Amino acid sequence: MSEPLNVAVLTVSDTRNKETDTSGQYLCQVLGEVGHNLVQYEIEIDDIYLLRARISSWIANPCIEVMLITGGTGFTSRDSTPEAVSPLLDSRIDGFGELFRAISFQEIGTSTLQSRALGGIANGSLIFCMPGSPGACKTAWHGILKDQLDIAHRPCNFAELIRRGSHR
């Protein structure tokens, strides 16, 4: 990776804290291992309006180029990440959720139907929402995000897209 990106990690959970958040910790760790800059790491309860407020502030922050959001993508009454994020997006990256579920199917079978993983772009920032389990974060990272956040990955990558500003 030749150009590090500035990344924020958000864990959506009513029960985790920074000591028990293995998914968020994992994402922070692998970002550092490949040379990206972790500029924010927070935990927010699964409340649609608190999530929108936090994510909106990150979207408005020109220093944050990528947001990795883990948790709140299932179908329980407390899962509201897709509803919080979707209205904030300028463009959806439909292929992220589709590819995540395709890769995940190989690991967990039809249970992947319960994932509402999604991606998009807002104000020049990439946003990727994935399930809250450490396994799902590993699947998303190794199967998609590691390459797509690497400006050297060919034939194309999202790092190049946001750095050139050609997403608008």
pLDDT at 168 over 50: no
- Three-state secondary structure readout of the chain: CCCCCEEEEEEECCCCCCCCCHHHHHHHHHHHHCCCEEEEEEEECCCHHHHHHHHHHHHHCCCCCEEEEECCCCCCCCCCHHHHHHHHCCEECHHHHHHHHHHHHHHHHHHHHHCCCEEEEECCEEEEEECCCHHHHHHHHHHHHHHHCCCCCCCCCHHHHHHHCCCC
| Structure confidence at residue 2 (pLDDT) | 67
pLDDT at 77 over 50: yes
Domains and CATH numbers, the chain: 6-164 (3.40.980.10)
Considering only residues 161 and 8, tell me which one the structure prediction assigns the higher pLDDT: 8
pLDDT at 164 over 70: no
Q: Of 39, 15, 38, which is closest to residue 26 (Cα–Cα)?
A: 38
pLDDT in tens, 88-126: 999 999 999 999 999 999 998 898 888 899 999 999 999
Contact 72, 25 (CB under 8 A): no
pTM of the model: 0.94
CA gap 153, 149 in Å, rounded: 8
pLDDT in tens, 36-76: 999 999 999 999 999 999 999 999 999 999 999 999 787 77
**What band does 161 get if pLDDT is binned at 50, 70 and 90?**
confident
- End-to-end Cα spacing for the chain: 24
